[in-house]
Amino acid sequence: MKIENSLPCPQLPETPPQTELQFTVATEEDFDDIMAMSQDIYGGLDYLPTRYQAWLQESNRTVILARKQGKVIALESVCVIDDGETMLVEGLRVAPQERGKGVAGVLLRFCSQLIKSKYPEVKVTRLTRDDKLGPKDFQKYRLITKQGILLVRFCAEDLKLRLAELGPDIGLPGDSLPAPKPPVRLEQAEVLDLFLSSELMQDVLPNATIVQDWQPFKPLPSNMDILLKKDIDWMVDDASQPSVASLCTFPFHVPIGEDWFYLNIDVFGKDLRLAVQQLLCHLRRHTGTLKGHVMCQVFLDPPLWKPMADFFRQTLGVELVKEYTEQCVVESDVV
Ligand X SMILES: CC(C)(COP(=O)(O)OP(=O)(O)OC[C@H]1O[C@@H](n2cnc3c(N)ncnc32)[C@H](O)[C@@H]1OP(=O)(O)O)[C@@H](O)C(=O)NCCC(=O)NCCS
Instruction: Tell me the residue number closest to ligand X, measured at CB.
Output: 105
Least distance (Å) from ligand X to the CB of residue 137?
Answer: 6
The Cα–Cα gap between 226 and 188 comes to 12
Q: Which residues pair with 262 in a beta bridge?
A: 252, 295
φ, ψ of residue 55 in degrees (nearest 5): -55, -40
Indicate whether 142 belongs to the interface with ligand X (CB under 6 A). no
* Stretch of 99-107, 186-194, 217-225, 277-285 lying at the interface with ligand X (CB under 6 A): 99-107
How many chain residues interact with ligand X (CB under 6 A)?
A: 14
Between 41 and 224, name the residue whose CB sits nearer to ligand X: 41
H or E segment and range at residue 184: strand 184-185
Between 91 and 219, name the residue whose CB sits nearer to ligand X: 91
Least distance (Å) from ligand X to the CB of residue 140?
Answer: 7
Indicate whether 102 belongs to the interface with ligand X (CB under 6 A). yes
Indicate whether 103 belongs to the interface with ligand X (CB under 6 A). yes
Indicate whether 105 belongs to the interface with ligand X (CB under 6 A). yes
φ, ψ of residue 64 in degrees (nearest 5): -115, 135
CB hemisphere CA count around 193 (13 angstroms):
10
The Cα–Cα gap between 82 and 121 comes to 11
* Spatial CB neighbours of 271, under 8 Å, sequence gap ≥ 6: 237, 243, 244
Indicate whether 134 belongs to the interface with ligand X (CB under 6 A). no
Least distance (Å) from ligand X to the CB of residue 217?
Answer: 17
Please give the span between the terminal C-alpha atoms of the chain, in angstroms, as a whole number.
21
Indicate whether 328 belongs to the interface with ligand X (CB under 6 A). no
Query: How far, CA to CA in Å, does 113 sit from each of 58, 65, 139, 187, 334?
Result: 20, 15, 20, 39, 9
Site residues (CB under 6 A) for ligand X, limited to 263-282: none
CB 247 within 8 A of CB 195: no
Between 100 and 135, name the residue whose CB sits nearer to ligand X: 100
The Cα–Cα gap between 225 and 68 comes to 37
Between 99 and 181, name the residue whose CB sits nearer to ligand X: 99
Indicate whether 174 belongs to the interface with ligand X (CB under 6 A). no
Q: What does the DSSP assignment read for 170-182?
A: ---TT--SPPPPP
Indicate whether 99 belongs to the interface with ligand X (CB under 6 A). yes
CB 299 within 8 A of CB 266: yes
Indicate whether 100 belongs to the interface with ligand X (CB under 6 A). yes
Site residues (CB under 6 A) for ligand X, limited to 17-76: 41
Indicate whether 79 belongs to the interface with ligand X (CB under 6 A). no
Least distance (Å) from ligand X to the CB of residue 91?
Answer: 7
Indicate whether 94 belongs to the interface with ligand X (CB under 6 A). yes
Between 108 and 309, name the residue whose CB sits nearer to ligand X: 108
Residues that bind ligand X (CB under 6 A): 41, 92-94, 99-105, 108, 127, 129
